[in-house]
Amino acid sequence: MTARDRQLLAHAPYAKADVPEQFLRHVVDYPRKEQPGTILVDTDARYLYFVLPDGKAIRYGVAVGEEAMAFSGVARVGRLAEWPDWVPTADIQARLGPYPARVAGGPANPLGARGIYLYSGNKDTLYRIHGTNQPEYIGQAISSGCIRMRNEDVIDLYDRVKLNSMVVVLPPGQNARVEAGTNWRG
């Protein structure tokens, strides 16, 4: 976490939300076969896993998309951004707006501290893994399709993930079947 991160998060316009213990960051045993550096999102369980070597993963609690709007499939990390601007899509403007055409990055921005942009081939899917200014929704299916994380967690993930890393987002009904392991929180 940078000095800028600490400064912006110290004055965040939202209350420090209580996130249930199971949705806080933990290192867990990871029996699946994805390669280290892969991100796997279990939408049913509301967890994102960053695969580590030696059968381990970092498990983060997330908020996922409402069922009709959720992204699922395989993508890659096509762009990484710190405190990204938010440009609401036409669909979001129609359903939830009106919003300004662009919301500058910062603690009041819905994308939070980091944006991890999901691409399919060379095309932006318009789905993101990003921070949030509403951490109280971690563990729920509430977003317009993006995967939201606590700002502290998305900063941690951002510092680990590389461009072109694989991202696997399981569709509803396809649980990852990853058992909780070590109760470590970093």
Domain containing 86 — which CATH number? 2.40.440.10
Phi, psi of 44 (to 5 degrees): -65, -45
Residue 183 lies in a domain: no
Measured distance CA(56)–CA(29) in Å, rounded = 5
Residue 180 belongs to a domain? no
What confidence score (pLDDT) does residue 145 get? 76
Q: What is the pLDDT of residue 15?
A: 58
Give the pLDDT of residue 181: 46
Q: How far is residue 153's CA from residue 113's CA, in Å, rounded to a whole number?
A: 10
**181, part of any domain:** no
Q: Does residue 178 form part of some domain? A: no
What CA dihedral angle connects 4, 137, 130 and 39, to 10 degrees?
120
pLDDT tens series, the chain, 186 aa: 899 898 888 877 665 778 889 999 999 999 999 999 999 999 999 999 999 999 999 999 999 977 656 778 999 999 999 999 988 877 778 877 788 888 888 888 889 999 999 999 899 998 999 999 888 889 998 876 789 999 999 999 999 999 999 999 998 888 777 765 444 334
| Number of separate domains in the chain | 1
The answer as to whether 179 is a domain residue is no
Structure tokens at 76: 């890659």
Does the predicted model carry a pTM greater than 0.85?
Answer: yes
In a domain, 177, yes or no: no
Q: Which residues are catalytic?
A: 130, 146
Q: What whole-number distance in Å separates Cα of residue 86 and Cα of residue 106?
A: 10
Residue 137 falls within a domain, yes or no?
Answer: yes
User: φ and ψ at 178, to 5 degrees?
Assistant: -105, 125
Q: Which domain holds residue 91?
A: 3-170
Assigned domain for 186 exists? no
